[in-house]
Amino acid sequence: MSTTQAQGPAIHVQGLTKSFGKLEVLRGVDFDVARGSIFALLGSNGAGKTTAIRILSTLAKADAGAAVVNGFDVATQATDVRESISLTGQFAAVDEILTGRENLVLVARLRHLRNPGKIADDLLKRFSLTDAGARRASTYSGGMRRRLDIAMSLIGNPPVIFLDEPTTGLDPQARIEVWQAVKELAGQGTTVLLTTQYLEEAEHLADRIAILHEGRIIVNGTLTELKQLLPPAKVEYVEKQPTLEDVFFALVGNDERGQS
């Protein structure tokens, strides 16, 4: 990463629009993500989270607006953007037949990095997979597979990583393991943009939380700022602080509650 690219936010999104036929999915999305921070994009099913991530990772083109990732314009500097990012989708890119270590070595080789074996061993250690490293990925639990998938996405040290629903389908323990891995990443200076349906996940992980609703970012702030959007905590017998869930449903509407 050159120093010129280290200026400004890691991700800058302005006026992004995207329609599929008559369906206006993004209608002018704006947000910035500071370097080394964790930014959570929340939204109901179909809100456009994956669409936004696909645009930011150059897999899809916006109809209008600007998006800059690591200082590079996604529309005109796609190659530079791709070299700056990694994308982990909901379905793991892990090869089941290979061992965890072989998966990592393979990616390091594909990226023409020196010392693929050492890179693999370091990542196995970092994600607490050293003991499982020699086992086929098909024998891994969901949480282990997810951690391996995230480890694979870190090969080459991309400054920006996109995690699209990193913990969907994981049990609480596995989810906590992934959270720890993500926190560690940001601690080391990587910028993380994640999408999630789990409000608890955003509460735990994110420095800033944005809610995408009907094609726009309707709120964007820290957890504390979001909680202040609701009337002050009611004092009854005990003081009840609003949860992010209360804020989300107050803003988005209660009819969303109950959908998964």
Using the rule CB under 5 A, give the single segment among 34-42, 49-57, 67-75, 153-161 that binds Mg ion. 49-57
Using the rule CB under 5 A, give the single segment among 50-58, 171-179, 201-209, 225-233 that binds Mg ion. 50-58
Window 186-245: residues binding ligand ATP (CB under 6 A): 197
Contact flag: residue 50 with Mg ion (CB under 5 A): yes
Cβ–Cβ < 8 Å for 170, 143: yes
Using the rule CB under 5 A, give the single segment among 8-16, 45-53, 80-88, 107-115 that binds Mg ion. 45-53
DSSP structure string for 191-208 = EEEEEES-HHHHHHH-SE
Closer to Mg ion by CB, 46 or 232: give it: 46
Contact flag: residue 25 with ligand ATP (CB under 6 A): yes
Number of residues near Mg ion (by CB under 5 A) = 2
Contact flag: residue 46 with ligand ATP (CB under 6 A): yes
Which contacts qualify for 238-244: CB closer than 8 Å, 24 or more apart?
A: 243/199, 243/203, 244/199, 244/200, 244/202, 244/203, 244/209
Instruction: Give the residue from 209, 147, 220 showing the smallest Cα distance to 182.
Output: 147
Q: Which helix (H) or strand (E) holds 55?
A: helix 49-56
**Residues of the shown chain interacting with ligand ATP in the complex, contacts defined by CB under 6 A:** 20, 23, 25, 43, 45-51, 197
